[in-house]
């Protein structure tokens, strides 16, 4: 996987297939077609992907696997908060594929006429990442309302931040943790970060006692000095990831088909994501 400048001009134009029809056989056929585009040994086409920060590990593996099968294709992935990537795409940043942690960003691109096709990608849930040195002060979700706690969230316009606030609102409405629970928790917020990875990093660096992040962020085991505290199921908000094709290139279509294939789902599952319609 590489990161760099805008994609090269595709070696063939006008030859596209529907994502719905492009199964395993279609992926293989597309790969063979791409491999036959030339013989100078240089990459024939670049697929530029804008992907949510929470997809960093999973899409790194997926991009590498796709490149291994398609040696004439380079996949360049840019990771950031979904809201940031949406703005970049709307302002004309070159991209063939857009993968967001919520449907809202894809809908914004659809409204702007930038989406060729879109579909569900995966689902995710939330968890509290807690610094080990926070000790017994944070043993349960309700403890986030404790006075003096240093809490970090993703910014409200970022999907992870939006989901976190929705979860707090559910808990508040239930009355389970006393009046004004969400207000008390939000009073502890010390910073609002640009993406969920930056949110988790605050806890890892000892700059926060806790953060609300995705379960996938801790799926491979919590980082050193960090432990996970579950959010009760009744207060969970399912994060719905979507992937959109923004260009007509065969390689971009093949990449989306690969990511959403059973093999792609297996990679996502290893990184803590669940298939569309299934709660992790």
Tokens, residue 120: 């569900």
Q: What pTM value is reported for the model?
A: 0.82
Coil, helix or strand for 157? coil
CB atoms within 10 A of CB 150: 18
Residue 22, pLDDT score: 37
Tokens 């990449």 locate to 255
Residue 5 has pLDDT above 90, yes or no: no
Average pLDDT over residues 169-176: 98
Is 142 in contact with 256 (CB distance < 8 Å)? no
Tokens 């939330």 locate to 126
Share of the chain above pLDDT 90, in %: 78
Query: pLDDT grade, residue 41 (50/70/90)?
Result: low
Strand partners, 242: 100, 120
Query: pLDDT grade, residue 9 (50/70/90)?
Result: very low
Strand partners, 245: 97, 117
CA angle centred on 118, ends 115 and 120, rounded to 5°: 150
Average pLDDT over residues 109-124: 98
On the CB side of 144, CA atoms within 13 Å amount to 31
**Which has the minimum average pLDDT: 30-39, 73-82, 195-204?**
30-39
Is 231 in contact with 137 (CB distance < 8 Å)? no
Tell me the C-alpha distance between 272 and 55, whole Å: 10
Residue 1, pLDDT score: 54
Residue 6, pLDDT score: 37
Is 275 in contact with 220 (CB distance < 8 Å)? no
Residue 279 has pLDDT above 80, yes or no: no
For the chain, the distance separating the N- and C-terminal CA atoms, rounded to the nearest angstrom, is 27
């Amino acid at each position: 996987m590489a990161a760099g400048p805008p994609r090269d001009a595709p070696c063939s134009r006008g030859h596209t297939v529907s994502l719905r029809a492009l199964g395993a056989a279609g992926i293989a056929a597309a790969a063979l077609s791409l491999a036959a585009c030339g013989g100078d040994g240089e990459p024939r086409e670049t697929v530029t992907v804008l992907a949510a920060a929470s997809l960093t590990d999973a899409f790194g593996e997926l991009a590498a696997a796709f490149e291994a099968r398609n040696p004439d294709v380079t996949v360049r992935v840019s990771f950031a908060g979904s809201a940031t990537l949406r703005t970049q795409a709307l302002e004309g940043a070159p991209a063939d594929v857009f993968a967001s942690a919520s449907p809202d960003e894809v809908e914004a691109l659809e409204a702007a006429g930038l989406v060729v096709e879109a579909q569900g990608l995966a689902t995710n849930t939330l968890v509290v990442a807690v610094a080990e040195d926070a000790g017994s002060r944070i043993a349960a979700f309700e403890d986030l309302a404790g006075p003096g706690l240093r809490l970090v969230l993703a910014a409200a316009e970022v999907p992870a931040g939006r989901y976190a606030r929705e979860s707090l609102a559910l808990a508040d409405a239930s009355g389970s943790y006393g009046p004004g629970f969400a207000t008390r928790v939000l009073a502890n917020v010390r910073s609002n970060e640009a993406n969920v990875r930056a949110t988790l990093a605050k806890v890892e660096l000892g700059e926060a006692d806790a953060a609300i992040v995705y379960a996938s962020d801790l799926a491979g085991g919590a980082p050193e000095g960090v432990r996970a505290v579950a959010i009760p199921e009744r207060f969970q908000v399912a994060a719905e990831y979507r992937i959109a094709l923004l260009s007509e290139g065969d390689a971009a279509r093949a990449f989306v088909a690969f990511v959403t294939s059973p093999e792609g789902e297996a990679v996502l599952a290893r990184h803590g994501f669940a298939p569309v319609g299934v709660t992790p």
